[in-house]
């Protein structure tokens, strides 16, 4: 059975160019980049090259990039570093719709006695910078606002929010895990202090990421140990994955413009057709200020998980906006924060495309999804009655 992979916000396939760049470092080029000898030193040069490739994609300097083990690590490192830099500023401002990489840390900080202000979003999932302005105080140490939402694809006005944070003297971090490689980012024209990204969302391997730290920002490492990463992140480098991340960033820089347009056209077609072919559907998220690859659609009166199971039988991979916790289906915290009605939040499905998504795959999804919705509605526990 063919796989139609429309779950690229969960993870992406490794690009063939990326895999090829990595292979030598899983084979003969196994030197330790910290070694004095040239066998290790040769490997070090490839890490330096990768650092330059990551920096180039986001308009940063190479020395502003450290490699991490994940996007989650980058988020944790940035927020904790900012809080440690000025102990008199213990207050945190973030949003209700962050990924658990930030959300869970915020909750942990609250349990430890810190005050965290949780910003809301409007019905389109958009953040109002005025609410940030009202939330920051003299004692705010860090404002952490994601660049783009993983569930809806909504892109926040992060530059505006960063400027508000900086005007109040606090650090600004953005979780850009879903944005890097999909939309242009230029740190030269930005006041963002920290930006986290993750390899596996842009066709590099899982378990590698990078954190941008603006030059001059007071930094406190999360992981202490050896002198790796200029003393900013201990631990022998995951060389093959770092080289892969560099290659993926170079590929994204080269092809982003073209791919954005192509992928957006596919996404728009999928969205248009599903919204028009299946009644009682709605788009979740701002219609325009969104990542080009993400469509979050609610099919009312059906369970998103039931749709996913039926799609899975056809080889179509997608995600739902509800998660099974303790036997009940909980709608996602993002859709809840947007005030999406119960029957719509439960029936939400996220389709996320990539550079490898084809026209035929979108045709296949457009043909197969509406009949599944009709069948499921006929047996809906929401009591919708006969299928439309
Ligand atoms: N932040 C966002 C917005 C994400 O979508 C993800 C992954 O889904 C992460 C952070 C975590 O990244 P990683 O899986 O590399 O830890």
Q: Which atom from ligand 1 is nearest to the alpha carbon of 175?
A: 1
Q: What proportions of the chain, in percent to the nearest 5, are helix, strand and coil? A: 45, 20, 40
- Residue of 19 and 346 predicted with greater confidence: 19
Q: Are 122 and 148 in contact (CB under 8 A)?
A: no
Q: Which of 139, 168, 249, 324 is catalytic?
A: 324
Structural domains in the chain? 4-11+256-378 (3.90.1150.10), 16-251 (3.40.640.10)
For residue 325, the model assigns a pLDDT of 52
Query: In the predicted model, is pLDDT for residue 385 greater than 50?
Result: no
Query: In the predicted model, is pLDDT for residue 129 greater than 70?
Result: yes
User: What is d(CA 300, CA 384) in angstroms, rounded to the nearest whole number?
Assistant: 9
**DSSP labels, 110-121:** HHTT--EEEE--
User: What is d(CA 1, CA 144) in angstroms, rounded to the nearest whole number?
Assistant: 43
Pairing of strands 91-95, 281-283: unpaired
For residue 381, the model assigns a pLDDT of 67
Distance between the two ends of the chain, CA-based, in angstroms? Answer: 29
Alpha-carbon dihedral angle through residues 74, 76, 79, 85, given to the nearest 10 degrees: -90
For residue 322, the model assigns a pLDDT of 63
For residue 383, the model assigns a pLDDT of 53
Query: In the predicted model, is pLDDT for residue 196 greater than 80?
Result: yes
User: What is d(CA 174, CA 187) in angstroms, rounded to the nearest whole number?
Assistant: 12
Helix ranges (DSSP H) in the chain? 16-22, 38-57, 71-85, 100-111, 129-135, 158-167, 228-231, 239-277, 304-313, 333-337, 342-346, 359-378
The mean pLDDT value of the chain amounts to 95
Long-range contacts, 186-192 (Cβ 8 Å, 24+):
186/58, 186/59, 187/58, 187/59, 187/60, 187/64, 187/212, 187/214, 188/59, 188/60, 189/59, 190/59, 190/159, 190/162, 191/159, 191/162, 191/163, 191/166, 192/158, 192/159, 192/162
What φ, ψ does residue 306 adopt, rounded to 5°? -65, -40
Lowest mean pLDDT among 341-345, 358-362, 380-384: 380-384
For residue 387, the model assigns a pLDDT of 44
Query: In the predicted model, is pLDDT for residue 328 greater than 70?
Result: no
Q: Taking residues 324-349, what's their average pLDDT?
A: 84
For residue 179, the model assigns a pLDDT of 98
Q: How far, in Å, from the CA of 355 to the mean position of ligand 1?
A: 19
Q: Are 136 and 165 in contact (CB under 8 A)?
A: yes
For residue 141, the model assigns a pLDDT of 97
Q: Which residues contact 250 (CB under 8 A, 6 or more apart)?
A: 53, 56, 57
70 lines ligand 1 (CB under 6 A): yes
User: What is d(CA 33, CA 229) in angstroms, rounded to the nearest whole number?
Assistant: 11
User: What is d(CA 370, CA 384) in angstroms, rounded to the nearest whole number?
Assistant: 16
Q: Taking residues 172-183, what's their average pLDDT?
A: 98
- 324 given a catalytic annotation: yes
User: What is d(CA 306, CA 303) in angstroms, rounded to the nearest whole number?
Assistant: 5
With the most atoms of ligand 1 within 8 angstroms of its CB, the residue from 9, 10, 73, 99 to mutate is: 99
Q: How far, in Å, from the CA of 380 to the mean position of ligand 1?
A: 33
319 lines ligand 1 (CB under 6 A): no
Q: Are 321 and 284 in contact (CB under 8 A)?
A: yes
Q: Are 126 and 78 in contact (CB under 8 A)?
A: no
146 lines ligand 1 (CB under 6 A): yes
**DSSP labels, 124-167:** TSPPPHHHHHHH--TTEEEEE--SB-TTT-BBP-HHHHHHHHHH
**Helices 239-277 and 359-378 meet at what angle, rounded to 10?**
60
71 lines ligand 1 (CB under 6 A): yes
Pairing of strands 116-119, 140-144: unpaired
150 lines ligand 1 (CB under 6 A): yes
Q: How far, in Å, from the CA of 365 to the mean position of ligand 1?
A: 26
> What would the pLDDT profile of 247-283 be if each residue is shown by its tens digit?
999 999 999 999 999 999 999 999 999 999 999 999 9
Q: Taking residues 227-256, what's their average pLDDT?
A: 98
For residue 1, the model assigns a pLDDT of 86
178 lines ligand 1 (CB under 6 A): yes
Q: How far, in Å, from the CA of 102 to the mean position of ligand 1?
A: 9
177 lines ligand 1 (CB under 6 A): yes
198 lines ligand 1 (CB under 6 A): yes
With the most atoms of ligand 1 within 8 angstroms of its CB, the residue from 12, 76, 151, 177 to mutate is: 177
- Residue of 380 and 104 predicted with greater confidence: 104
pLDDT band of residue 329 (cuts 50, 70, 90) is confident
3-state secondary structure of 196: strand
Q: How far, in Å, from the CA of 349 to the mean position of ligand 1?
A: 18
Query: In the predicted model, is pLDDT for residue 318 greater than 90?
Result: yes
Query: Residues, the chain, total?
Result: 388
Q: How far, in Å, from the CA of 150 to the mean position of ligand 1?
A: 8
- Whose Cα sits closest to atom 9 in ligand 1? 71
User: What is d(CA 244, CA 339) in angstroms, rounded to the nearest whole number?
Assistant: 40
pTM confidence score: 0.96
With the most atoms of ligand 1 within 8 angstroms of its CB, the residue from 71, 125, 285 to mutate is: 71
For residue 384, the model assigns a pLDDT of 54
Q: Report residue 384 as tokens.
A: 């919708």
Q: Which atom from ligand 1 is nearest to the alpha carbon of 74?
A: 16
């Amino acid at each position: 059975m063919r796989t139609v992979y429309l779950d690229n916000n969960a993870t992406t396939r490794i690009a063939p160019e990326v895999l090829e760049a990595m292979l030598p470092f899983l084979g003969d080029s196994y030197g330790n980049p910290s070694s004095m000898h040239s066998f290790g030193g040769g490997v070090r040069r490839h890490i330096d090259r990768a650092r330059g490739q990551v920096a180039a994609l986001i308009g940063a300097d190479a020395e502003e990039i450290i490699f991490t083990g994940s996007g989650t690590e980058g988020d944790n490192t940035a927020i904790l570093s900012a809080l440690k830099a000025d102990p008199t500023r213990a207050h945190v401002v973030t949003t209700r719709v962050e990924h658990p990489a930030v959300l869970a840390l915020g909750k942990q900080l609250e349990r430890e006695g810190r005050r965290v202000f949780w910003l809301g979003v409007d019905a389109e999932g958009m953040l109002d910078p005025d609410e940030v302005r009202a939330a920051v105080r003299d004692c705010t140490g860090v404002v952490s606002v994601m660049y783009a939402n993983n569930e809806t694809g909504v892109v926040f006005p992060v530059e505006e929010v960063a400027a508000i944070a900086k005007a109040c003297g606090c650090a600004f971090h953005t979780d850009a895990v879903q944005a890097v490689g999909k939309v242009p980012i230029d740190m030269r024209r930005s006041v963002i202090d920290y930006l986290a990204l993750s390899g596996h969302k842009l066709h590099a391997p899982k378990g590698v990421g990078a954190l941008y730290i603006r030059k001059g920002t007071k930094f406190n490492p999360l992981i202490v140990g050896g002198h790796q990463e200029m003393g900013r992140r201990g631990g022998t480098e995951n060389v093959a994955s770092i080289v892969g991340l560099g290659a993926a960033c170079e590929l994204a820089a080269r092809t982003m413009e073209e791919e954005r347009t192509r992928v957006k056209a596919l996404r728009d077609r999928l969205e248009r057709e599903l919204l028009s072919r299946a009644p009682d559907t709605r788009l979740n998220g701002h219609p325009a200020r969104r990542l080009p690859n993400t469509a979050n659609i609610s099919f009312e009166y059906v369970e998103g998980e039931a749709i996913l199971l039926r799609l899975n039988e056809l080889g179509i991979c997608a995600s739902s906006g509800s998660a099974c916790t303790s036997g009940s289906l909980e709608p996602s915290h993002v859709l809840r924060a947007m005030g999406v009605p119960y029957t719509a939040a439960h029936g939400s499905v996220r389709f996320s495309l990539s550079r490898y998504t084809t026209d035929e795959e979108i045709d296949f999804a457009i043909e197969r999804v509406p009949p599944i919705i009709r069948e499921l509605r006929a047996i809906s526990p929401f009591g919708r009655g006969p299928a439309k």
